[in-house]
Amino acid sequence: MDMPSARQAIASNKDAWDQSAHLHTTTDTWNALRNSVSDPGFSCLDPTLTGLLQDIGVAGKDVVQLCCNNGRETLSLFGLGARTAVGVDQSQGFLQQARELAALSPHEAQFIESDIHQLPQALQARFDIALVTIGVLGWMPDVALFMHHVASTLKPGGTLVMYETHPFL
Ligand SMILES: C[S@@+](CC[C@H](N)C(=O)[O-])C[C@H]1O[C@@H](n2cnc3c(N)ncnc32)[C@H](O)[C@@H]1O
């Protein structure tokens, strides 16, 4: 990416998420999440996304969630039978929470700190399914470029699952 303003926007966005992260751990929602994530069948996915993922078939698949925030959705993928689940986010603050939840979960998720535009080589062409959920597209300076990086994580013939609102919202 050679647009300084885009790089600046990405860095500012990371700072904002990091600065707000601790606020989320003082909520009832966080405490409820901590209590429920130890259930092997834990899922916070709503019926629409659950149905979509069931139709596609997550069981036995390697799945990556791009911009996973606190990892609650990444960990939910095991409830649908994912073989492996990897979450990627650039916010260190939220990834700390993801690792805290993962430590309470009986499943072995991996969480990687990275800007989506600088994904490590180890994530290239590795997954059957790439998942992007609500609240991601609106942060991307260039949606086509974002999609290029998302696609780079998929094995040939892999599936992108996007469950988003319109970025203008
Ligand atoms: C609204 S949250 C996603 C929430 C998720 N759908 C859920 O319900 O748990 C958006 C996430 O995108 C991440 N993000 C934004 N820009 C990013 C980038 N360039 N690279 C990696 N993560 C990014 C933020 O750090 C934030 O955690």
Residue 168 lies in a domain: no
Q: Is the pTM of this model over 0.85?
A: yes
**Residue range(s) defining the domain that contains residue 31:** 4-162
* Cβ(76) – ligand 1 distance below 6 Å: no
- Residue 126 CA to residue 61 CA, distance in Å, equals 11
Residue 123 lies in a domain: yes
Query: Domains in the chain: how many in total?
Result: 1
Probe residue for ligand 1, chosen from 136, 140, 153 as the CB with the greatest number of ligand atoms within 8 Å: 136
Residue 50 lies in a domain: yes
Residue 116 lies in a domain: yes
Cα of 34 to ligand 1 centre, how many Å? 20
Residue 102 lies in a domain: yes
* Cβ(115) – ligand 1 distance below 6 Å: yes
- Single-letter amino acid code for the residue at 52: L
Could you tell me where the DSSP H helices lie in the chain? 4-21, 28-36, 47-56, 72-76, 92-104, 143-152
CATH number at residue 144: 3.40.50.150
Condensed to tens digits (0 to 9), the pLDDT of residues 34-81 reads 999 999 999 999 999 999 999 999 999 999 999 999 999 999 999 999
* Cβ(139) – ligand 1 distance below 6 Å: yes
- Single-letter amino acid code for the residue at 99: R
- Average pLDDT of the residues of the chain: 95
Binning pLDDT at 50, 70 and 90, where does residue 166 land?
A: confident
